[in-house]
Amino acid sequence: MWKWLHPYAKPERSYQLASTLLPWFTISSIIVLIIGVVWALAFAPVDIYQKDYYRIIYIHVPAATLSMSVYMAMASATFIGMVWQLKLSDAAAAAMAPIGATLTTIALVTGAIWGAPSWGTSWVWDARLTSYLILLFIYLGIIALQNAFEDKVLASRAAGILTIVGAVNIPIIKYSVEWWNTLHQGATISKFEQPSMGDDMLYPLLINLFGFALMIAALSIVRFRNEVLARDSMRPWVKELVAKECK
């Protein structure tokens, strides 16, 4: 496997790979999201108790679930960067941080909008919501630390340590609904034997989840390319690339 991966430690090759992958992820995410969103908002059955406003979960659930996945991806990337000293891995982690922060904000806002009619309150200080708010703070801290250093390589290393320390929070968020008796409901779709949700409602949610994942991949690739270019801006291959573009 190392022999196959080795060429991609070179920024140039990674940049090319990212450029080839980008259109695939972009197109597929747009298609999947259109199918998912239209199905969810227009054709999924109306909930008896919650009427139409339950449909916001089709945005809330993917954003919330995947914001944690993005964090784990970041933590894995920084871990790989630390152990094998791969600078590109740090670049990938730096590229993902703002995406994760945005998803976390989306999940918090949509959750508040959904909570207002169904719980009767937009915000409660229960374990799930609080630990999730901490996740947003950690994301913001990581971004702030990345911006505080002049040297990008150094910034990534420092932010990496914070990322790995902050990863402690992820299992707390995941299991908060089981460990504490919270207002937030427990896991709904991951109970595969018998999801507590009808099929007509479940399928668009799963499609949206998949579409969000593809969209995050596409956005990460865009940001990763920028990050690589910014870090290597003085290298000959970037200069050649710019010269080619300008012609």
Which positions touch another protein (CB under 8 A)? Answer: 130, 134, 137-138, 140-141, 144-145, 148-149, 151, 154, 157-158, 161-162, 164-166, 172
**Reduced to 3 states, what is the DSSP secondary structure of residue 205?**
helix
Residue closer to another protein (CB basis): 23 or 171: 171
- Residue 47: phi and psi, rounded to 5, are -75, 140
Closest approach of Cβ 131 to another protein, in Å?
A: 8
R_g of the chain computed on alpha carbons: 20
Smallest distance from another protein to CB 174, Å: 15
Cα(100)–Cα(216) distance, integer angstroms: 9
Q: Kindly state the smallest distance separating residue 218's Cβ from another protein, in Å.
A: 29
When the beta carbons of 41 and 164 are compared against another protein, the nearer one is 164
User: Of 113 and 170, which has the nearer Cβ to another protein?
Assistant: 170
178/200 with CB nearer another protein:
178
CA-nearest of 212, 107, 95 to 142 is: 95
Output phi, psi for 233, to 5 deg.
Answer: -60, -20
**Cα 164 from Cα 240, distance rounded (Å):** 36
22 vs 164, which CB is nearer to another protein? 164
Q: What is the nearest approach in angstroms of another protein to the Cβ of residue 138?
A: 5
Quickly count: other Cβ atoms within 10 Å of residue 191's Cβ: 11
Q: How far is the CB of 104 from another protein (least distance, A)?
A: 12
How far apart are alpha carbons 105 and 140 in whole angstroms?
11
